[in-house]
């Protein structure tokens, strides 16, 4: 079981609170640098806590990456909330 640190929990909470938001907007919402957000996204995805989806942006160039917290990610957030 992955132990979540404060940045992991904050990032997951931001994804839960902002469904459908492109991943490019998450660093500002989570109050982390873009580089740190990429590292968080990769580690949380590798751990099975996040899932990413490419979404077409109606002819606006590259597809947007949208993140979704997995059921395991929701359980990890619940465990983190239970710790005083």
Q: What is the CATH number of the domain that holds 67?
A: 1.10.10.10
Write out pLDDT tens, residues 50-73. Answer: 999 988 866 667 888 899 999 999
Give me the phi and psi of 37, to 5 degrees please. -60, -40
- 48 within a domain of the structure (yes/no): yes
Prediction pTM value: 0.87
For 59-75, letters b (16+ CB in 10 Å) and e give eeeeebebbebbeebee
Domain that holds residue 36: 6-82
Domain count for the chain, please give it. Answer: 1
What was the pLDDT predicted at 1?
56
What was the pLDDT predicted at 83?
64
What does the alpha-carbon distance between residue 38 and residue 20 come to, in Å, rounded to a whole number? 17
Write out pLDDT tens, residues 18-50. Answer: 998 989 999 999 999 999 999 999 999 999 999
What was the pLDDT predicted at 31?
93
């Amino acid at each position: 079981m992955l132990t979540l640190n404060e940045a992991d929990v904050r990032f997951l909470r931001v994804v839960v609170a902002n469904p459908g938001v492109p991943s490019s907007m998450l660093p500002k919402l989570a109050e982390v640098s873009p580089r740190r957000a990429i590292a968080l996204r990769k580690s949380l995805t590798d751990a099975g806590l996040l899932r990413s989806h490419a979404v077409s942006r109606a002819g606006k160039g590259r597809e947007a990456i949208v993140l979704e917290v997995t059921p395991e990610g929701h359980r990890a957030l619940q465990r983190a909330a239970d710790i005083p």
